[in-house]
Chain A
Amino acid sequence: MKFKPGIESLETDNVNVSHSSPVREFVTLLLGAFGILALIYAVSGLLIDKAVDWIDPKTEKALFSDLYNAFDDAESQTDASVTLQRLVDDLQQCLDPGYEITVNLTEDSSPNAFALPGGKMVVTQGLLDLVSSENGLAFVLAHELAHFANRDHLRGIGRGIVLAAMSAAVLGSDSGLDAIFAPASLAGQARFSRSRESQADQRALMALNCHYAHIGGATEFFEGLKRRGDAGDTAGTISHYFASHPDAQSRVDALSALGGDSGFAQGALRELPEALQ
């Protein structure tokens, strides 16, 4: 047998590899995957909203009651928590969330308040330290009441579960893809969350006006945050898109604008009850 090597074809026609651009392939696939996931997320969001309307507060309380066995209300009742509870009960005459709300005070020093499923509201000591008047505190409490009334806590949890399930089941945690999808999904969730926060702010403002007949102190909490520099410095940077709450300054602006439009008056602030100082 005579061998004749065909060396000229070695460089030019390699049939074993694709010659299209790998970057283009990558970008196409990435956009496709994003598109599909965004669609799933949007559809699940709508389904969650439907489901939330369907779950009444009573069922919700029954579903989540096991969560709170760790809290023992009777033992943790102090003057402060009783006073807080009374303030929340009073506010409910202006903003009825359709729940029986129980308030818990935690020692946490970061100023915050949460609406948890089943009608549990958690207020941190840091929040009490930050606000200087009862009106300022009442606005934050009314804001959480508005979350209950709007069922935002359920919507948030529902979307969180969808996101977690999507990144775990569809992508797998070992592919390296979760690194890119996780921040993107956070941004999506944050945008949703920010719009809910703004709605809650509006309802809280109305409740404040109803309770005190003026809206003085509404921006106190956000002004306090700004002074601390916790939330005000994110404006204009990319991290703004990942923030679950609008930044403090834009909330102050929005509240002032809304207060002006609705013709709400400013008035004298009440001092914080002694038990909460």
Chain B
Amino acid sequence: MYQLAVFCVLLALGYGFGRFAETRHYQSITRREKLFAELPTLSLRSAGEDEEAVFKTQFVSANVVISVDYFKRVAAALRGFFGGNVQAYESLVDRARREAVLRVKESCPGASHILNVRIETSSIHKGRGNGVGSVEVFAYGTAVYNAPD
């Protein structure tokens, strides 16, 4: 009985806080994506730059760790029972990936574009056993700065 009450409270708290954080994060992501829309990120190794015009190139990287909330964890565990799309985790991965790319962009103000962008997931959560999991995304690339006219 007591166990069930604790579970329900945790579930409600997880849902409430998780929902709040996610909504706020998405608002921030879309706002900043608009802000940085003029700075292209490319997976190409070269965008046909005029070498004379390039002032400097620089390695840029960023990482993001986002925790799973209790509600998502239980929902995903239930999903693990039946199989299928783990909806609860989709938005987590989406947020982490977009946030990582945004941070890459934010780390090189004034660049004209970022080349060779790669996105990877690392796994600091692995081996922590029963703890609440987290999504970790690492993004990196080469920022290209054009010479001032």
Query: Which chain A residues have a beta carbon within 8 Å of chain B's beta carbons?
Result: 1, 3, 5, 7, 10-11, 14, 16-18, 20, 22-23, 25-26, 29-30, 32-33, 170-172, 174-177, 179-180, 182-184, 238-239, 242
Contact = CB atoms under 8 A, between A and B. Distances in A.
A138 B34 CA distance: 83
23 contacts: A1-B47, A3-B40, A5-B38, A7-B34, A10-B30, A10-B33, A11-B30, A17-B87, A17-B94, A22-B15, A25-B87, A29-B75, A32-B82, A33-B78, A171-B81, A174-B129, A175-B80, A177-B74, A179-B3, A180-B4, A183-B1, A183-B4, A242-B1
Given A5-B38, A5-B40, 16 more contacts: A3-B38, A14-B94, A17-B87, A17-B90, A18-B90, A22-B71, A22-B75, A25-B87, A26-B75, A29-B75, A29-B79, A33-B82, A177-B74, A179-B6, A183-B4, A242-B1
A18 B33 contact: no
Contacts of B85: 18
A25 B82 CA distance: 12
B48 A1 contact: yes
A242 B70 CA distance: 26
Contact of A25 (B7, B40, B75, B91): B75
Contacts of A7: 33-34, 37
Interface in B98-149: 113, 129-130
Interface range for B: 35 or more
A193 to B, nearest CB: 16
B34 A10 contact: yes
Contacts of A17: 87, 90-91, 94
Central interface residue in A17, A20, A23, A238, by most chain B CB within 10 Å: A17
A26 B88 CA distance: 9
Contacts of B60: none
